């Protein structure tokens, strides 16, 4: 186990800057998710950490050891590829043993350690099979066992769940959490899925076009997104431009004929702001319940069911307010009828135009 320190690493491909100089520290035993859309630079950064790409500038330390110019095999880093990269002509056990044999570990010791890793990932009885006889989730577990068998200082995962269906992906998320808990191995995972990052990571770094937008705990990032990009990536929906009335804890946002409370204490009176709302923080007040003092009124324009969840939209003046709720909460609702609703202050995010935060 070891701390990862990335210092001012930058990368350019064919004249295009893919990574602006950035810093990242992942503490010993932490699980960091690098989150971003395609082209954000997250996979490039992961490959630079692994030694599969060279940085144009900056340095990388693992456990206090500078590995910036070391070859892949000398970094003692485990890497799980998006496409698993298993050897089809080798058995599952031989796949897992491969790294140990490359290090000239005696065969008996390599078999024993590989068997332990297969037990860890729940495939102890699958050593004699070929990769072609396994499901996608099982192949991913083999790839994970192969990365762990050499006792790496750092584990890197490149979108390891993206090729799996939803059910298997959920199972593998739980497995990754269990394995991380049992091994305590410092882990960095690349993903474009915000729910996956929030579930697995105790640290999330969000990238956009090679720039760190926020580096925080999942809870802090969700409750206090650093800018509009982060808020939208995490599901915030843009309502439009409003104006701040009041300052600090007493500030309110006027937008589309509504006056809405915010939990932010950094708003200044008179500032124009872009306003986003988290749909799951909007609550429709039941018709039989007394309306809270800060409730607003609108017309339920649409309501759609998605299994256990329902999504709706409320037309309130010039605004279209998104709502996400449990399906049973939507059973009594009828599109076209007037409803009262409340937006929780912590679900409303307001940002001055072009607000950004520095790379961390």
Q: Reduced to 3 states, what is the DSSP secondary structure of residue 47?
A: helix
The length of the chain is: 360
Strand order in the sheet with 296-306: 282-285, 338-343, 296-306, 309-316, 319-326
- Mean pLDDT for all residues in the chain: 92
Do the bridges between strand 258-261 and strand 309-316 make them parallel or antiparallel, or are there none, so unpaired?
A: unpaired
pLDDT surpasses 60 at 356:
no
Q: Reduced to 3 states, what is the DSSP secondary structure of residue 18?
A: strand
pLDDT surpasses 50 at 267:
yes
pLDDT confidence tier of residue 353, bands split at 50, 70 and 90 = low
pLDDT confidence tier of residue 200, bands split at 50, 70 and 90 = very high
Read off the tokens for 287.
Answer: 């018709």
Read off the tokens for 252.
Answer: 């309110």
Mean pLDDT of 271-297: 89
From residue 290, how far is each of 293, 321, 332 by CA, in Å? 9, 21, 16
From residue 331, how far is each of 284, 289, 339 by CA, in Å? 12, 16, 14
Residue % of the chain over a pLDDT of 70: 98
pLDDT at site 360: 40
Taking residue 292's Cβ as centre, other Cβ atoms within 10 Å add up to 12
Read off the tokens for 311.
Answer: 């999504």
Question: 268-277, pLDDT tens digit by residue?
Answer: 999 999 999 9
119 vs 99: CA distance, rounded Å = 17
Taking residue 15's Cβ as centre, other Cβ atoms within 10 Å add up to 5
Residue 19 CA to chain centroid, in angstroms? 19
Kindly report the pTM of this predicted structure.
Answer: 0.89
pLDDT at site 359: 40
Cβ-contact 39, 45 below 8 angstroms: no
Mean pLDDT of 295-299: 93
Q: In angstroms, what is the C-alpha Rg of the chain?
A: 24
Read off the tokens for 130.
Answer: 């070929």
Question: 21-52, pLDDT tens digit by residue?
Answer: 999 999 999 999 999 999 999 999 999 999 99
Question: 89-109, pLDDT tens digit by residue?
Answer: 999 999 999 999 889 999 999
């Amino acid at each position: 186990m070891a701390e990862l320190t990335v210092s001012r690493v930058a990368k350019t491909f064919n004249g295009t800057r893919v990574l602006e100089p950035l810093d990242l520290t992942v503490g010993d035993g932490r699980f960091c998710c690098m989150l971003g859309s395609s082209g954000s630079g997250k996979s490039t950064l992961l490959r630079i950490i692994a030694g599969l790409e060279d940085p144009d500038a900056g340095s990388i330390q693992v456990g206090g050891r500078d590995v910036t110019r070391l070859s892949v095999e000398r970094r003692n880093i485990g890497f799980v590829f998006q496409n698993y990269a298993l050897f089809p002509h080798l058995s599952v056990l031989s796949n897992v043993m491969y790294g140990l044999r490359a290090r000239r570990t005696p065969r008996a010791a390599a078999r024993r350690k590989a068997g332990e890793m297969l037990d860890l990932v729940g495939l102890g009885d699958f050593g004699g099979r070929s990769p072609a006889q396994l499901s996608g989730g099982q192949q991913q577990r083999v790839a994970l066992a192969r990365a762990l068998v050499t006792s790496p200082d750092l584990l890197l995962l490149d979108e390891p769940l993206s090729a799996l269906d939803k059910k298997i992906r959920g199972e593998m998320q739980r497995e990754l959490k269990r394995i991380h808990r049992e091994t305590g191995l410092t882990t960095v995972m690349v993903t474009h899925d915000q729910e996956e990052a929030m579930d697995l990571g105790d640290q999330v770094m969000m990238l956009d076009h090679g720039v760190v937008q926020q580096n925080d705990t999942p809870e802090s990032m969700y409750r206090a997104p650093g800018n509009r990009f982060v808020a939208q990536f995490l599901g915030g929906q843009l309502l439009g431009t409003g104006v701040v009335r009041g300052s600090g804890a007493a500030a309110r946002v006027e937008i589309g004929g509504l006056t809405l409370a915010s939990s932010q204490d950094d708003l200044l009176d008179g500032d124009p702001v872009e306003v986003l709302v988290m749909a799951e923080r909007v609550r429709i007040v039941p018709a039989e319940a007394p309306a809270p003092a800060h409730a607003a009124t609108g017309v339920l324009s649409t309501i759609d069911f998605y299994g256990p969840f329902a999504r709706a939209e409320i037309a309130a003046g010039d605004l279209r307010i998104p709502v996400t709720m449990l399906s049973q909460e939507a059973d009594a609702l009828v599109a076209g009828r007037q409803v009262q609703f409340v937006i929780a202050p912590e679900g409303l995010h307001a940002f001055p135009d072009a607000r950004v935060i520095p790379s961390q």
